[in-house]
Structure 1
Amino acid sequence: MEQIILSKLGHTWILDLDGTIVKHNGYKDDGHDTFLPGALEFLRNISDEDMIVFITSRKLEYQNLTESFLQENGVRYDHIIFEAPYGERILLNDDKPSGLKMGKAVNLQRDSFPQMDIVVDEEL
């Protein structure tokens, strides 16, 4: 099980959609999206104080379909970035002077949402 240790500060979640949260290309192959097992529960457990940003390579023509799917399933989010390049996604962030590591990244196997243990460490 993947364990992610976070501070008690507010967080920004930057999440891919296809193959990470929903079945890869399900919206094309099946005509609709399907959450990967455990992904919807994970999203619903993100604190309301946190920001959620989805990033996807989907074309803008799928914006209404994507947003409707998320709304129908009660998924809260702040932004969706469409038409992202197909290549790597790179996060650069500075660490706090206290030493708190401000950038985290988790690479997942496509179409397999892992069990994750999110721990808030009150000491951070």
Structure 2
Amino acid sequence: MESIVLSKLGHTWILDIDGTIVKHNGYKIDGEDSFLPGAKEFLDGIPKEDMVVFITSRTDEYREKTIEFLKRNSIRFDHIIFNAPYGERILLNDDKPSGLKMGMALNLKRDTFPEMNVTIDEEL
């Protein structure tokens, strides 16, 4: 099980779409997206105060279809970045002087949403 310990501050979730929250290329193979088991419940549990940013290599051709799928399933998001390169995604962020780690990354096995325990540590 994946475990993430967060501060009580607001958070920014940067999430890939294909193979991370929905079946990889399901929108092409099956004609529509389908959530990976546990992914929708995870997304529904993200606090409303947090920012949600999706990033995808999907082209603008699939923009409306992707947004419609998310809206139809009541998935809240603040931004979606389309046309991202297929290569690595790199996050650079500074840590707080208190030592709080401000950048996190999880590399997930494709098409498998992990069991995840997210806790808030009031001391951070």
Which TM-score tier does this pair reach, normalised by the shorter chain?
Answer: over 0.9
Aligned mates of 2:80, 2:23 — CA distance in 1: 17
SS in 1 for 2:119: strand
SS in 2 for 1:43: helix
Question: Equivalent residue for 2:97?
Answer: 97
Alignment TM-score, normalising by the size of structure 1: 1.00
Q: Provide, for residues 25-55 of structure 1, a one-character-per-residue CA deviation record: whole Å limited to 9, x for no partner.
A: 0000010000000000000000000000000
1:30-49 superposed matches below 5 A: 30-49=30-49
Question: Equivalent residue for 1:14?
Answer: 14
Determine if the alignment matches structure 1 residue 85 to structure 2 residue 61: no
SS in 2 for 1:5: strand
Query: 5+ residue gaps in structure 1?
Result: none
Distance apart, 1:3 and its partner CA: 0.4
Aligned mates of 1:106, 1:119 — CA distance in 2: 16
Question: Equivalent residue for 1:72?
Answer: 72
Identity within the alignment, %: 73
Structure 1 runs (4+) deviating above 6 angstroms are none
SS in 2 for 1:109: coil
Aligned mates of 1:110, 1:2 — CA distance in 2: 15
SS in 2 for 1:40: helix
SS in 1 for 2:97: coil
Question: Equivalent residue for 2:107?
Answer: 107
Q: Provide, for residues 45-71 of structure 1, a one-character-per-residue CA deviation record: whole Å limited to 9, x for no partner.
A: 000000000000000010000000000
The Cα RMSD (Å) is 0.3
Distance apart, 1:18 and its partner CA: 0.1
Total equivalences in the alignment: 124
Distance apart, 1:76 and its partner CA: 0.2
Question: Equivalent residue for 1:5?
Answer: 5
